[in-house]
Structure 1
């Protein structure tokens, strides 16, 4: 599905005050018109958008990782052995040409002074900026009540460095236990299964992908996971990871069951990276609060990606999500605004996922948990496919959907949901799964 932005066709450049920038070969440049903190999806999308519309002003990206920007969704392929680290690189791929954008790796920002337009790095360097984007993303949440999470062989697959270490550990692993039934953990599970490693998924919820769909909607996916050989234990949680000199040797569950294993991967959600802003004037509400133009509470500051608190276009409530596609979309919007091209961000769905698990493609979008929701629900399906369409209580708006197996028309449905379109004239086409663009023309 193509990202959707509320971007006008014509823009008018705003004048900006240029800062003195060092020469292209000066790796110690410390002044830049555009400074981007974070080198993943949102940060690099913003950097390349800025460069497209402002070809002269310096653009600098600071990333605390040792690797240059890469495609994070691909890191499970490093675990499976299908790809190498160099295959992940953004530079030279699609819009990420890397031209005239200075990326400084191993550069962790520890504080920001928005009054003086300066950032301070862990290595005592100081950067001056004209405009700044915070795209610092999120980090894995490691439950503090699980003992032994520091053991060798325990991972939370989030970075390329994690993937390399996990790949190395897999060579001495016969059985891996993954904690959490979210999307990234499922992808990690299949990467390990492809290497012939036995995998057990331990999920506290009664089902996998509980954040993306109701239990009765996940039957096809659960069957596909079972058929693929993934062992799943639901309704239980880990309390301790046991280890010896060689690292992980087993895990203890809350029902006192012990599972022998040589690897544990924790996928229990993420937390936004905002600690460096706690003493700043930037407004925080768990993440960084951003307005409809991705601007923060201080002038010349913007936020995008996992770290940004934006709005859900369906519910209107504040929301943060850790999805690559959302981050790219928001980063592009931030880049346009930073370059002086006023652009409204269309909003971030609280739930928006389109992927494939165990050869079963699915899309989950909008309001899909309907147990206590005042709404109209239409479910249908056949051999190898399932559809759930969720309409508002008055039936006039499509507010959510789950497609499994047959995911055709997903982009159209997103257009309808995000645009809050009245659906009376073509509602039966949505229910019948034969909607097309011509219905909008009519």
Structure 2
């Protein structure tokens, strides 16, 4: 990953084709607000919009550019649920609470659609998402998941046998699929920039190139940068994987993970549509999964590599190309024009880690690669809590979260070792 210039977004196909958006000033003053938010990604901007529309004075501090982190670089898949499966949440909180959290996640997908329409965001929205099976054990897992969602959550998904999925996705690799017509995919950077325009239109003050160096807690929290400070009645931490050292108790409960995506050259309408005939997004069910979709200009956008050491894997473009051609052998003459990546944050149990520190510092982290829709929900529930309605945030705060084992020194090597086991499992059975 590289920056074309100090003020630019990280290189990606998203950044090259993003809707032009005005820059925001650096914080170079002492100021006050009702709420100060760290992070101008999807979580921070969603929170800001909700609060500003309720009449609060909001400041957002961003270390780079709006959407510079995972919000502007991710796979763009907008799906229900959370980073862990719903059965885990049911085991942690009970079925009644799990049903509530699940319905809120479904509502979060609808919220993305509503915001695109309300704020006229050119987010390239497309309907449809499928989880696909590669091996017989995946068939059993997906059918059990389908039954659980239908029986316990009232959420039906369509089951596709091998012939049907291969009629839609032109790959010999997949032997079944669960299709959800209500989920979809979008251009994540355009969506994030659109939320920023909506926020500023509602009166939010956004400051870019203003990384927070210190949070002073107390009756009126204070966020300091190198060139300014903001004091407020409430503070919100929405920096996820890119924040370290501000709140050590939160740092210990998430780990940064590198994820990577490639974009081919334009394939042309006919060749592109032959790959995914209904223009849906696709993800397999391996631990080290492949996920892909088509862009508006007929490229294949393909994600299929993760780094648990946070270092980009050696020969990344070659690895990604081999994975793509394993899915689509007919693309033997096609490589990637661009490969990019970024850091996401994962929690130990992959469940969302949202809550408060004391009475007036709120946070949302641990989206675990499942955040495009859930970030909007996080913004809503934090804004509700700040305004005195904390019921939904309290429901999420009841999810138990343990720190990663190994402390600061060993937790990354231990995670790398654990992920190696899951990758071996993917390969062997």
- Provide TM-score, normalisation by structure 2: 0.38
- The structure with the largest helix share of the pair is 2
- Provide TM-score, normalisation by structure 1: 0.37
- Bigger relative contact order (CA 8 A; separation at least 6): 2
